[in-house]
Structure 1
Amino acid sequence: PDVMLLDAQLGGMSGLQVCEALKADSSLNDIAVVFVSGCTEPELESAALKIGAEDFIQKPFSPPQVVARVNNQLRLRRQTA
């Protein structure tokens, strides 16, 4: 995939752990990670961006907002490919 949408709270692993694992794997680290979370703590957003997430969207969100942000990531991928 070119873009992965992750929630911070997943069963088993946290979204932060998944993002860290993706970014540590050379065959997967170019996947753009966009967090979508209902958590409003700014520390979570900062942590996600610090470990390599490309964007962070807070719930509730509007579908056009998510589409625009995903399209931005896809556009960036095409420009750097």
Structure 2
Amino acid sequence: MAQSQGLVKRYLKAFCKGFFVAVPVAVTFLDRVACVARVEGASMQPSLNPGGSQSSDVVLLNHWKVRNFEVQRGDIVSL
């Protein structure tokens, strides 16, 4: 019984260490570099979501290029 409690305690300690490192890294990445978004509806047809309301497209939003003012003509910008 004592061994299983020690194992659980070590597991929880390792989980907390990993959690408190992974969450800030993931949040920073999604805020500063890129994130994934879903395009639904007819607002971007025919370029995105050509099937209308039956389907949706998934896009990668690149925050890095916008922060460095590297947006060019023809790029799709999401607000």
TM-score w.r.t. the length of structure 1 is 0.21
Larger Rg: 2
RCO higher in 1 or 2 (8 Å CA, sep ≥ 6)?
A: 1
TM-score between the two structures when normalised by the length of structure 2: 0.21
